[in-house]
Amino acid sequence: MEKSKVYFTKEITPESLIRIYESLGVELNGKIGVKVSTGEAGSKGYLKANLIGPLVKMLNGTILECNTAYSGKRNNAKDHMKVAQDHGFTSFADVDIMDSTGDFKIPVKKGKHLEYDLIGNNFKNYDSIINLAHGKGHAMGGFGGNLKNQSIGIASRKGKAYIHSCGKTTSPSLCWVSKHEQIDFIESMAEAANAVADYIKDSGKQIVYITVMNALSVDCDCDCHQGDPVMADLGIVASLDPVANDQAFIDMVYNSSDPGAIKLQERIDRQQGREILPYAQSLGLGSTSYELINID
């Protein structure tokens, strides 16, 4: 199997973000959506306006999000939009809370946990997507990157509940008491991410993947009590393959000589986070084998 290309820059600036996007050599067509995490109120690691704004404006992109399944300041469109505004996203682009108009089912063609995926209704309106992830730890998934941003991130509120419960319920209140093995949740995320990739391909849409590896906390941006970074920034990776891009991020965390990296590694392994990568590969979503191309 040919190795997937993953582009890398150690520099984390608005200019390097544009440069690494351009390195992908893809011209995105039509209406462009940029899927990010707007960050829970009180979090601090989310991607900042001054970093991502120039790229989004250059592409005339719209910021895409969906409401959360957990209770907080982003589980309804009105409050979520206020958080997006407070965090600076509305200062440079329109923000679309995609499930504010409902959701729709897409098929899960491969897997053993989910029968379908429920994604934000307005996702239909975009011709091209940038999956722009913030690399960090995560209390439930171990880590967050492109795969999580494509599964939990693009799923509607009910869709998130369905993934978190490994296909048992679409109720945001019931999903948290649903009984399942941790590995089942990790695999369910991969199945949902693959379903989105299939939908994009079948609809003739485009998608590219970028992960900014900064503010590396063991906690996700969805945590209102997000802890401080535990290790130094790593840079930015970009690819047309989400599995390869996440694998490159994980390899950098595990190969790091930074003494704080062990804290992030422990969080990831406690939640069996790395298991998403070979499982996603087995579904045909991408490859864990990649060639790292330094653009610096």
Q: What is the mean pLDDT of the chain?
A: 97
Other CB atoms closer than 10 Å to residue 69's CB: what's the count?
25
Residue 232: strand, helix, or coil: coil
Scan for tokens 């087995």, then name that residue. Answer: 282
Q: Where are the domains of the chain?
A: 4-108+119-149+194-294
pLDDT at 2 > cutoff 90? no
pLDDT band (50, 70, 90) for residue 223: confident
pLDDT at 1: 63
Work out the percent of the chain whose per-residue pLDDT is above 70: 100
Longest dimension (CA), the chain: 48
Average pLDDT of the residues in 187-201: 98
30 band by pLDDT with thresholds 50, 70 and 90: very high
Helix axes 49-58, 14-23, angle to 10 degrees: 40
Burial 105-143 (b: 16+ CB within 10 A, else e): ebebeebebbebbbbbbbbeebebbbbbbbbbbbebbbb
Is 29 buried (19+), middle (13-18) or exposed (0-12) by CB count in 10 A?
Answer: exposed
Find the helix or strand (DSSP H, E) in which 104 lies. Answer: strand 103-107
What pLDDT, on a 0 to 100 scale, did the predictor assign at position 69?
87
| From 9-13, 65-69, 119-123, 164-168, the region with the lowest mean pLDDT | 65-69
